Structures are given as structure tokens and as C-alpha cells.
Amino acid sequence: MRPADLAAAVRIRADLASGTARQAREAAGITAADMARAIGVSRQAVSSWETGAVVPTLEHALAYGKVLTALIRQAG
């Protein structure tokens, strides 16, 4: 993983733990199921990341951030 991607993944993990990522996803009208499909995980996995019950891998955190950005751009 490139240093820039690693830094982004760490920031996204923090956003997931604080609820910021979930608020952004919901504000964009993206469901947890849509996010899960785009990343290739279960809806329950996304939910557990967003509630802080589970810390996503760096790869999953980076994918969450990339998908969220892409879906927001599509919606906007």
C-alpha cells in the first residue's frame, strides 16, 4: 500500500469510528447495502464498521472512502 493510501485509510478508519463516514453516506442517500455491494462485503460488515464494533482492514477502509467519494460524485 502506498504511503498516501495508508494515510487515507487511517483517516477513513477515524471517520468510521466517529460516525462522520456514516453521516456523509446517509446525507448522500447511499444505503449501507449499496455501500456493501460496491465494496464487496456484507451490509452487516459496513454497519459494524460504522458503529465502531469492528475496525475494518486498511484495504476495506480505503475502499469505503473511494466508493463513498465516487457515489457522492455520481449523485451530485
Range of the domain at 46: 3-75
- Amino acid 66: pLDDT: 94
Per-residue pLDDT tens for 21-55? 999 999 989 999 999 999 999 999 999 999 999 99
Q: How far apart are CA 35 and CA 43, in angstroms?
A: 8
Amino acid making up residue 32: A
Q: How far apart are CA 15 and CA 25, in angstroms?
A: 11
pLDDT band, residue 75 (cuts 50/70/90): confident
Q: How far apart are CA 51 and CA 23, in angstroms?
A: 11
pLDDT band, residue 74 (cuts 50/70/90): confident
Domain count, the chain: 1
CATH number at residue 43: 1.10.260
Asked if pLDDT for residue 76 goes beyond 80, the answer is no
